[in-house]
Structure 1
Amino acid sequence: MAAPSSMTRLLSFMQKTERVIYYWLTGMRPPGLNPALVCSAGHQWPMSPSNHDEQSLLESIFGSTLWAAVPKTRRSSEVNRTRRFGKIKHFEAAIPKKNIVACLTCGHWHEKHTICGNCYKRVQEETREMREAMGDDLEFHVPHSEVAVLYEGEDKNSPNLKDKYIVEMKKPRPQWFSKHLLTKVHH
């Protein structure tokens, strides 16, 4: 069965609107609806507009349009499983990846355009140690200036460290952690 055209929908909407307006103005049902309303058990229609409250009026106007997006039939469990475990998702792990490269720093394998997992773990551990070195200053009193990390053997009195919050680490600087990360380059 073909879906109703937009003209049919518009005509149906106009007829419903006309019925609601007729009932609202006169307080009586339109003549064409009497047999249908007799069959609906338990529903009593008020005969005068004074008995008609605002909420039921809005419900009678917008009630049919609010249910337009509700599915007509239940989606079966077989259809749900087919959709969830479809070919693409189910066999995604079986498709060989072609974008795997070796890390230039540590040699572990990782996907191209992503950070190496092994190198990232080292950075996480170093960050955790820096937080521990900051102590309560990080948790309760956030530094109001730029943070500088100093490892063993580095000069505290450097002019670059003026007005910076200094975190002292009691170990040598790792090779991969550059000393000049925040140094501005002049062209």
Structure 2
Amino acid sequence: MATSLLRIFHAAFQNVEIRLLQAFGLHPPPGPALAIPGCHHPLQGSQGSDMTEPSGLSSLLGGVFLMAAPKHRQSLERRHKRQRHPDKLIKPKENLFPCPECGSMMQEGFLCINCYQRIKYETDIIRQKIKETETDGLASTAETVVRYADETITESDKSKRVIEMARKKPHWFTKDMYDEHWKTS
């Protein structure tokens, strides 16, 4: 209680000092300053007039954010026990099985990374072919169909933009791959 009253009186005297210096046209000399927690410099407007200050606990703290700090140092043994608890360690994967396409090990419910790399490579090639067929750098609004060397164009695909690939279609890249995706979503 006494320290809070001391801080309030200190802030009041500081305000009086600042106003007197401003009234005589003097400013406080530049130099080192003593900062007391809970006391703050009054806000000044553009003409030098003071703005109203909030009262109560918020004015005493002056926007200070207090955080908890430990009272005693924690030993390395206790810290390591907490950090290296068996529940926090990485557990070995038990749901691994070979990929039906490439045979590499993959986790159940996830896409095989080797198969993903192959699909990404194939779709990058298709995107490059699509960019080559674009005129004036503008994308076409027509639906696009990819035709490999071993495929034929159907009647429904004749009205669409056809991207021709000069190589054989990969065995994992099925035609209904996109159709199944659109049916489920």
Same fold at TM > 0.5: yes
How do residues 104-115 of structure 1 correspond to structure 2 at under 5 angstroms? Answer: 104-115=100-111
Q: Aligned pair 1:67/2:64, yes or no?
A: yes
Tell me what 1:155 maps to: 152
Equivalent residue for 1:45, pick from 3, 9, 15: 15
**Structure 2 Cα separation of the partners of residues 104 and 125 of structure 1:** 20
CA contact 1:152–1:173 (8 Å) conserved in 2: yes
Deviation per residue, 1:74-121 (Å, 9 max, x gap): 798988xx59x92269842xx321111111122110111001111111
RMSD: 4.3
**Structure 2 Cα separation of the partners of residues 145 and 160 of structure 1:** 13
Aligned residues: 143
CA contact 1:108–1:118 (8 Å) conserved in 2: yes
**Structure 1 Cα separation of the partners of residues 136 and 69 of structure 2:** 55
Please list every run of 5 or more consecutive structure 1 residues that lacks an aligned counterpart in the other structure: 1-11, 13-31
CA contact 1:148–1:165 (8 Å) conserved in 2: yes
Tell me what 1:128 maps to: 124
Give the direction of change, closer, same or farther, for the CA distance of 1:135–1:45 in structure 2 (3 Å limit).
closer
**Structure 2 Cα separation of the partners of residues 125 and 141 of structure 1:** 23
Percent identity for Structure 1 against Structure 2: 21
SS at match of 2:139: coil
**Structure 2 Cα separation of the partners of residues 46 and 138 of structure 1:** 76
Give the direction of change, closer, same or farther, for the CA distance of 1:163–1:67 in structure 2 (3 Å limit).
farther
Q: TM-score, normalised by structure 1?
A: 0.56
**Structure 2 Cα separation of the partners of residues 59 and 165 of structure 1:** 72
Code of the aligned partner of 1:45 = N
CA contact 1:145–1:164 (8 Å) conserved in 2: yes
Tell me what 2:169 maps to: 173
